[in-house]
Amino acid sequence: MTTTAQDQIQDTVSTNDVVLFMKGTKSMPQCGFSSRVAGVLNYMGVDFQDVNVLSDDGIRQGIKEFSDWPTIPQLYVTGEFIGGCDIITEMTLSGELDKLFEEKGVAFSKDAADKIREANG
């Protein structure tokens, strides 16, 4: 049986607490939006799985169908689609992302999150 892109995506989001589908990797993002979200997660010390959509066309197209969301990056937390760059930026600045991580049991640095808000307040 061949695995479809949808199966691969489902498997990735179910086996990792935090997954970022992005252009490039967390250490070498290849687009500004991906870089911003990866940067926030890295800065906050979140352990996340990065999936480079540029290395697999099936995943690149498949993730848009999977989430019914047209753009990359896409953040998933404990299997749930959270949003793209604008949503993650808003959630970070409002403190909603902290709350979500706390509810889902995802480790992150509250100090780092507070610093991001101070710098952008």
**Mode of pairing for the β-strands spanning 74-77 and 80-83:** antiparallel
Give the closest residue to 52 by CA, choosing from 82, 72, 37. 72
Task: Please report where in the chains the tokens 């999150």 appear, as a residue.
Answer: 113
Whole-number Å distance between alpha carbons of 63 and 61: 6
Q: Is 85 assigned a ligand-binding role in the annotation? A: no
Q: Show binding-site residues for [2Fe-2S] cluster.
A: 31
Q: Show binding-site residues.
A: 31
